[in-house]
């Protein structure tokens, strides 16, 4: 086995070898069986205990079912070595088992000593991992090796598939989309006889951990795969083709969750070619998969990627709302729109997408990216959970009653059930799964947060650290500090004040202030010798007005617009004074000097952990933090020099800015 | 046959069908036979004449040999239908045959009417085409399709090989390097039994047209191919390996010209890994190939490609001289250094490399690039022969007697014989060979200029136009105007005043002012709010002092430094007044507005030729000129906006610069 178990290592807390516990499971099914199995694994690892199953009522651990409860919820009671996990269904039992093992590790107590009452109930119905894995084995925006699902156009099924399913289930993920949203080449054939058999194998493994499998499909599949001359959603032949295809697919893969589609986006085909709307397109598939209980996940990442940089009125940020808000209420019940957290594309800082406020009669899913495409690509540390938590907390002021993003996507606001949270995954076949060892905190954290949106980033980080590194105070304190500081630090030495996009084109790594400035992607900072930023107020692109009035006014008005989004919403002079009291330019200089300094401090801190960490872990961390230190200087210097050259204004503190 | 014959179409001048001419060839060998064959083809095409060979002394056309003449030279005498071509050898006879056919087309007269005495004698001993073709069929910096030498790791030998050899020989090319200087993967095995057989086939075809074949090899071949643990040029085992390899190679490919090497450059291996010099490296191979009359072509394109943009003292322009000038006199006689025309890399404008002045006891070859990597990639028209002619005319003031670049590389200055001119080829398997139909003028022109460096760009353009398009005055005049204007026009809307590099990284197409500014490639413009340019005087990087005193002083002094190189040698304020009387900034604005206007005018001019050109030719030209018009506006606007944003100084004429 050339890979780790991440937070499922179950390292020994205290040795109770020789003792045997009994477990009685009153639920039946493979998922319930996995729950018991996990308890067996966990108790053996943590204590050396042996767990035997029994049919007796007097077992040490009892897994029971209460059909009035949520099928994914659980209640746990532990006292003096006796434990009951009551759940609404098998998934709840599995989550309860993981919760119990987590609690034991958090408390670091002997089995007999744990006294605890715990409860779980999922905030979000759907908790999805999106894998952008291609069939050749590459991963689009993958920073942790190759795919462990595909290689050389074949599907991989092996012990790593099981290990992956455990990791996902242990944090409450209940849906996995196996392949890249950009469906090209052989990936078209995933919904053909060529692949059903190995897909069924994967599906079986995932299902045994309570995970529903989804597949990305190409909107033009009727042409690519079916040989039709059209994919027009209003063409009866096309509908019939999809119906036949769905019948074939569910015949071979019963229990499949459904299809995910990226349509009319960045070159992917879609309904617009036929003058049809996204609702036409999504409902076409929705109708075809409905007889099998299938769902359609439809991405809202749609914009004009042939924009002219000279055009200052067109605004990519507006595209999602412009395309989808007018279609509110037109989508079938089994269609869910997947909306990126921000209106642009996973930048280190963006406002929340106004679409969350704009859709009232449509199923919505929040899409975040734990793959660190724009946030250091798993070579820089960037713990994203506090950021996701901010997004969830954002009040959209769009309805009576609860109206935060968390309320909207969980279904609390409007009573939806086909909704939730999705994350673009950060995994690959690297031995540690995520390239940067600390990036696993994002994978862990996404699942935990999606299941329980009241958890804070810090609470989740503490859990993950304890589970991953055991109880070693200096390690836990140091890494907690680094994790919690990491996102602000990364923001500070990269693109300032919400402006985004100052990266090298294509691969998106490293500083390049003008990299996207004269490009066709709608991604501009408009820096000149006097200032920078995009005017998105009513005197500019008008983007602000896509928000509900409270938010629109907040962003429109410089007095109330938060500093960290100042340049996202406003074009400001370098000498403009922010609420912090600093000028825009001095803010840029200060944050870049500070950020690089903090990145250097991370390295020093990590070096202090050398004796406390396993050698391979330390070496991987050390290599990455060394790189981050150096690369943050490159960021600092490129950004500072760029703005010094442009403005001619020196640093007030006289630090080195290369001319 | 899905490709054209370019300038060898031999379209009918006047119809003399039915008549027969006789030819007597007093030279023997396949090249002489090709000469007669070409005359047969040409006379049939131009007149419908039949050419019969005869042994009689009274033939209409006699090819004779005068051993006192240069083996590649010829004297032609034609009068009243009788012609003698006297040459120093078979190659001379072949070049004479092509010259005769060219003259007939230039004069557009009947066979009987031509009265002409013509002479040819090659200026350069070696006239080389470098193909950067990879074995998978791709071409590095290829803009005209795939390779016609390689595909899927196999060597291609077919009618196109013959057609290519005819084109090359018709303009006097006598050496062809078949494969990419970056030798990777399967290309390592070109010098192994796997490939000798098909290579021999190609070699035979080339040789029949008087062309010597060369192969690029990997300096680390003893390791890659031979399994040694070193490629150290001073290791006897390595020398022995190369000797054995040479024996094997020439055993299989007798007559091979030799090896070409790109060493210690852009990631290619080389002698520096062992603390050895380029002389050690080149002489190693020189010794190994000497017994077979082989040569080693060693590239001087060596520089530090891991430079820090913050370092303003290191200067990539200095690298070639720094590496090679100290080694002057240390290279074997059968080694020739191939030196790019400028010190950087085929930019639209550069000074001549100071290495041409620095080497006095070393064989030199001038390397130019007809592949338009930085000059429009065969989508923009850019006729480069006037530029190459300027390079050849540059006096390096490095010795008593003739000391222009033409003198130096032809051997006139120091009496070398292993020297000449090389061009990176612009061909591919596109039907018209060069993508842009007008790019064929560069291929044609390189050969003509290398054979006769006294020809002007305009003379060569006129020849090529007549041969390619026949005698159609409007076509000839229009395209001559476009060709002759094309290089200045391309320069005018791209990077200004010799500064270069304002292109998108990697593919090098389209404007990106900061694309290489913060990169590791040593390619900077240093633009800030006050000015731009690189100070390469003695107060800057000191590059100027690599030239001989006359040139050093000319460039060092702003009064004498030519405007077109002003920013290559000096950092100037935007408000600095050039010799033209314009400020630097206004020069940038003016040239960019003018250049785009002229590119638009090209399109209009070409549209006027629609009735006069074959439809496929017109359509190809029209598509490219339409693109050039649009893309030159993109260049204009990006460059103008960039400098307007940076300087804050508006255009004096108030034209549109996007803010």
**In which residue are the tokens 């040789």 written?**
B207
Percent of chain B's residues with pLDDT above 70? 100
3-class secondary structure per residue, A18-53: CCEEEEEECCCCHHHHHHHHHHHHHHHHHHCCEEEE
Calpha distance B489→B479 (Å, rounded): 14
pLDDT digits (tens, 9 = 90+) for B365-411: 999 999 999 999 999 999 999 999 999 999 999 999 999 999 999 99
Query: Residue B586 — very low, low, confident or very high, per pLDDT cuts 50/70/90?
Result: very high
pLDDT at position B631 over 90: yes
- Which residues are CB-neighbours of A244 under 8 A, at least 6 positions away? none
Q: Which chain B residue's Cα is nearest to A656?
A: B310
* B306–chain A Cβ distance below 8 A for any pair: no
Q: List CB contacts (< 8 A) between A528 and chain B.
A: 644-646, 648, 659
Which residue shows structure tokens 């045994």? A208
How high is the mean pLDDT of chain B? 97
Backbone angles phi, psi at A377, to 5 degrees: 50, 40
pLDDT tens profile A596-625: 999 999 999 999 999 999 999 999 999 999
Cβ contact (<8 Å) for B528 and A646?
A: yes
Q: What average pLDDT does range A344-367 have in this prediction?
A: 98
Find the CB nearest A647 among B504, B529, B638. Answer: B529
* Partner-chain residue, chosen from B511, B528, B659, that has the shortest CB–CB distance to A645: B528
Residue with tokens 């990997």: B218
Q: Could you report the per-residue pLDDT of A341-353, keeping only the tens digit for each? A: 999 999 999 999 9
Using left for φ > 0, alpha for ψ between -120 and 50, and beta otherwise, residue A48 falls in left
CB A280 within 8 A of CB A234: yes
Q: In whole angstroms, give the CA distance from residue A22 to residue A82.
A: 10
Active site residue B373: yes
Contact B529 A529 (CB under 8 A): yes
Which residue of B637, B645, B647 is in closest CB contact with A310?
A: B637
- Per-state percent for chain A, helix, strand, coil, to nearest 5: 40, 15, 45
Within 8 A by CB and 6+ apart from A84, the residues are A61, A62, A63, A64, A76, A77
How far does A557 lie from chain B, in Å, by closest CA?
24
In angstroms, the CA A604 to CA B577 distance is: 52
Hey, is the C-beta of A648 within 8 angstroms of any chain B C-beta?
Answer: yes
What is the distance between the alpha carbons of residues B636 and B639, in angstroms, rounded to a whole number? 5
Model pLDDT, residue A294: 98
Test B514 with A513 for CB contact under 8 angstroms. Answer: yes
Return d(Cα A313, Cα A539) in angstroms, integer.
10
Query: Is the ipTM of this structure higher than 0.95?
Result: no
In 3D space, the residue among A380, A500, A659 whose CA is nearest the CA of residue B517 turns out to be A659
Pick from B645, B648, B655, B659 the residue to mutate for testing the A interface (most A CBs within 10 Å). Answer: B645
pLDDT reported for residue A266? 86
Question: How distant, in Å, are the alpha carbons of A2, A615, A633, B318, B454 from that of A619?
Answer: 16, 6, 22, 39, 64
H-state helical runs in B520-583: 549-556, 566-569
CB contact under 8 A, B528 and A638: no
Question: If pLDDT is split at 50, 70 and 90, which confidence band does B267 have?
Answer: confident
- Contact (Cβ atoms closer than 8 angstroms) between residue A558 and residue A549: no
Q: What percent of chain B has pLDDT over 90?
A: 98
Q: What is the pLDDT of residue B107?
A: 96
Copy the structure tokens of residue A647: 């403005």
Q: Strand A20-25 relative to strand A50-53: parallel, antiparallel, unpaired? A: parallel
Q: By the 8 A CB rule, do B531 and B576 touch?
A: yes
Distance CA B133, CA B178 (A): 7
C-alpha Rg value of chain B to the nearest Å: 25
What's the Rg (C-alpha) of chain A? Answer: 25
User: Is B1 a residue whose pLDDT tops 80?
Assistant: no
**Of B38, B72, B134, B373, catalytic:** B373
Backbone angles phi, psi at A228, to 5 degrees: -70, 165
Helix ranges (H only) for B254-361 are 278-289, 319-324, 355-358
What pairing do the DSSP bridges indicate for beta strands B258-261 and B74-79? unpaired
User: Is A310 close to B514, i.e. CB distance below 8 A?
Assistant: no
pLDDT tens-digit readout, A454-509: 999 999 999 999 999 999 999 999 999 999 999 999 999 999 999 999 999 999 99
A345: annotated active-site residue = yes
Residue B56 clears pLDDT 90, i.e. is over it: no
CA distance, residue A657 to nearest chain B CA (Å): 10
* Interface check A485 vs B, CB under 8 A: no
The one catalytic residue among A264, A287, A373, A429: A373
CB contacts, 8 Å: B505 with chain A: 504
**A237 Cβ under 8 Å from any chain B Cβ:** no
* Dihedral angle over CA of A185, A187, A192, A195, nearest 10: 120
Is the CB of A630 inside 8 Å of chain B's CB atoms? no
Q: Which residues of B touch A645 (CB under 8 A)?
A: 527-529, 646
Tokens of B534: 């690189």
pLDDT at A1 over 80: no
Map B206-217 to HEC letters.
HHHCCCEEEEEC
B interface mutation test: which of A525, A645, A650 has the most B CBs within 10 A?
Answer: A645
Residue of A nearest to B649 (CA): A529
Of B310, B646, B658, the CB nearest to A529: B646
Minimum-distance CB partner of A658 among B310, B641, B644: B310
Q: Each residue of B156-200: pLDDT tens digit?
A: 999 999 999 999 999 999 999 999 999 999 999 999 999 999 999
A361 touches chain B (CB under 8 A): no
Question: What whole-number distance in Å separates Cα of residue A515 and Cα of residue A520?
Answer: 11
Distance of alpha carbon A93 from the chain centroid:
25
Of the candidates B459, B447, B326, B339, the one whose C-alpha atom is nearest the C-alpha of residue B396 is B339
> Are the beta carbons of A527 and B645 separated by less than 8 Å?
yes
C-alpha to C-alpha distance for A91 and A172, rounded to whole angstroms: 9
Cβ pair A646:B644 closer than 8 A: no
A634: annotated active-site residue? no
Residue A56 pLDDT > 90, yes or no?
Answer: no
Q: How far is CA B206 from CA A178, A431, B171, B200, B433, in A?
A: 54, 53, 14, 10, 18
Please tell me the distance from the alpha carbon of residue B55 to that of residue B479, in angstroms, as a whole number: 44
What number is the average pLDDT over the span B248-262? 98
Asked if B649 is an interface residue toward chain A (Cβ–Cβ < 8 A), one would say: no
- Using a CB-CB cut-off of 8 Å, the residues of chain B touching A641 are 310, 518
Is the CB of A514 less than 8 angstroms away from the CB of B518?
A: no
Mind listing the pLDDT tens digit for each residue in B467-499? 999 999 999 999 999 999 999 999 999 999 999
The shares of helix, strand and coil residues in chain B, as percent rounded to the nearest 5, are: 40, 15, 45
Nearest to A533 by CA among A498, A558, A564, A503: A498
Interface of A with B in 528-547 (CB under 8 A): 528-530
The H or E element spanning position A64 is: strand A61-65
CB-CB under 8 Å, A659 with B528:
yes
Read off the pLDDT of residues A89-148 as tens digits, 9 standing for 90 and up: 999 999 999 999 999 999 999 999 999 999 999 999 999 999 999 999 999 999 999 999
Residue A490, phi-psi category: left (phi > 0), alpha (psi -120 to 50), beta (remainder): alpha
The full 3-state SS of B429-469, as one line of letters, equals: CCCCCCCCHHHHHHHHHHHHHHHCCCCCHHHHHHHHHHHHH
Helix (H) or strand (E) holding B36: helix B30-47
Q: Do B645 and A646 touch (CB under 8 A)?
A: yes
Cβ A647–B518 below 8 Å, yes or no? no
- Residues in chain B with CB shorter than 8 Å from the CB of A521 are none
CA dist., res. B631 & res. B644, Å (int): 20
Tens-digit pLDDT profile for residues A294-315: 999 999 999 989 999 999 999 9
Instruction: Report pTM.
Output: 0.93
The B50-53 sheet, strands edge to edge: B50-53, B20-25, B61-65, B82-87, B74-79, B116-120
CA-based diameter of chain A, in Å? Answer: 80
């Amino acid at each position: 086995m050339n890979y780790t178990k991440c937070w499922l290592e179950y390292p020994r807390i205290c040795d109770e070898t020789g003792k045997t516990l009994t477990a009685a499971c009153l639920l039946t099914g493979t998922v319930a069986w996995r729950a018991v199995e996990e308890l067996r694994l966990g108790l053996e690892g943590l204590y050396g205990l042996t767990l035997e199953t029994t049919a007796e009522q007097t077992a040490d651990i009892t897994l029971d079912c209460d059909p009035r409860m949520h099928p994914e919820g659980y209640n746990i009671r532990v006292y003096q070595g006796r434990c009951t996990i009551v759940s609404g269904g098998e998934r709840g039992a599995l989550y309860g088992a993981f919760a119990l093992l987590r609690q034991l590790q958090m408390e670091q107590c002997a089995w007999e000593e744990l006294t605890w009452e715990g409860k779980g109930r999922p905030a979000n119905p759907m908790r999805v991992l999106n894998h952008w894995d291609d069939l050749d084995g590459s991963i689009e925006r993958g920073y942790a090796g190759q795919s462990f699902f595909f290689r050389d156009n074949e599907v991989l099924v092996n012990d790593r598939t099981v290990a992956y399913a455990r990791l996902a289930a242990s944090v409450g993920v209940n849906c996995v989309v196996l392949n890249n949203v950009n469906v090209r080449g052989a990936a078209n054939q995933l919904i053909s006889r060529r692949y059903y058999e190995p897909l069924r194998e994967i599906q079986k493994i995932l299902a045994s951990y309570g995970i529903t499998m989804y597949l990305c499909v190409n909107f033009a599949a009727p042409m690519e795969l079916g040989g039709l001359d059209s994919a027009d959603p209003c063409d009866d032949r096309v509908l019939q083709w999809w119906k036949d295809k769905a019948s074939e697919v569910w015949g071979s893969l019963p229990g499949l969750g459904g299809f995910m589609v990226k349509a009319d986006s960045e070159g992917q085909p879609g309904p617009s070619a036929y003058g049809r709307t996204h609702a036409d397109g999504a409902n076409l598939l929705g109708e075809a998969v409905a007889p099998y209980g299938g769902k359609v996940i439809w991405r809202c990442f749609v914009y004009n990627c042939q924009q002219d940089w000279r055009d200052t009125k067109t605004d990519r940020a507006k595209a999602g709302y412009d395309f989808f808000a007018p279609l509110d209420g037109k989508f079938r019940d089994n269609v869910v729109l997947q909306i990126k957290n921000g209106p642009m594309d996973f930048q280190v800082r963006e406002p929340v997408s106004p679409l969350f406020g704009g859709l009232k009669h449509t199923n919505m899913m929040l899409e975040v990216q734990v793959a660190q495409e724009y946030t250091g690509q798993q070579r820089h540390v960037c713990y994203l959970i506090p950021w996701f938590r901010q997004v969830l907390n954002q009040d959209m002021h769009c309805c009576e009653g609860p109206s935060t993003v968390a309320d909207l996507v969980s279904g609390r606001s409007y009573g939806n059930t086909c909704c939730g949270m999705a994350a673009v995954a950060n995994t690959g076949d690297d031995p540690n799964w995520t390239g940067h060892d600390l990036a696993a905190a994002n994978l862990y954290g996404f699942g935990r947060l999606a299941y329980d949106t009241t958890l804070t980033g810090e609470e989740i980080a503490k859990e993950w650290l304890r589970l991953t590194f055991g109880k070693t105070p200096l390690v836990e304190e140091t890494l907690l500090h680094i994790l919690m500081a990491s996102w602000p630090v990364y923001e500070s030495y990269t693109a300032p004040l919400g402006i985004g996009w100052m990266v090298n084109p294509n691969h998106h790594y490293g500083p390049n202030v003008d990299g996207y400035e004269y490009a066709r992607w709608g991604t501009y900072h408009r820096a000149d010798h006097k200032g920078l930023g995009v005017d998105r107020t009513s005197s500019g692109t008008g983007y602000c007005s896509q928000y509900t009035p409270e938010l629109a006014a907040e962003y429109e008005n410089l007095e109330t617009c938060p500093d960290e989004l100042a340049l996202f919403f406003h074009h400001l002079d370098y000498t403009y004074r922010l609420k912090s009291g600093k000028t825009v330019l001095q803010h840029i200089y200060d944050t870049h000097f500070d950020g690089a300094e903090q990145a250097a401090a991370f390295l020093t801190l990590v070096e202090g952990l050398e004796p406390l960490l396993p050698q391979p872990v330390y070496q991987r961390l050390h290599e990455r933090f060394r790189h981050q230190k150096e690369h943050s200087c490159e960021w600092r210097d490129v950004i500072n020099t760029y703005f010094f050259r442009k403005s001619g204004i020196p640093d007030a503190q006289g630090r080195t800015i290369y001319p």
